[in-house]
Amino acid sequence: MTTLTRRNLRIAVLLAAAIGTLFWLGVCVRVLMVPPPRRDGFEMLGAILATAYFLALVLPALALGILGRWLPLGAVLGAVAVAIATDAVMPWIPWSIFAGGLF
């Protein structure tokens, strides 16, 4: 693998890990924003699942990207992490605002 390819792959892995980290933080903040009278404990299930997502996909990709080792595996983990994050976020984005009603 050439130096340029390794550098680009490392940047892609770190970018995917950053997106996954932002998704995890967003879920945790959103769960903590639930008012105390409306909390019944089930909202923590989202934080638990998001933390499992972070520990299983994002954190290994981040470690591989920082260390610069096994970058193809880090890229696969990062791609899966971004795919899961966008699958969870995409339905909630009001796409009609951006595309003029095409979506």
Q: Per the structure, how many domains does the chain have?
A: 1
Is residue 78 scored above 80 in pLDDT?
yes
Is residue 102 scored above 70 in pLDDT?
no
Residue 76 lies in a domain: yes
Residue 16 lies in a domain: yes
Euclidean distance between CA atoms 34 and 18, whole angstroms: 25
Residue 103 lies in a domain: no
What global pTM score does this model have?
0.81
Percent of the chain with pLDDT over 70: 85
Domain encompassing residue 28: 3-91
3-state secondary structure 7-21: HHHHHHHHHHHHHHH
Q: Give the per-residue pLDDT at 100.
A: 61
Euclidean distance between CA atoms 21 and 28, whole angstroms: 11
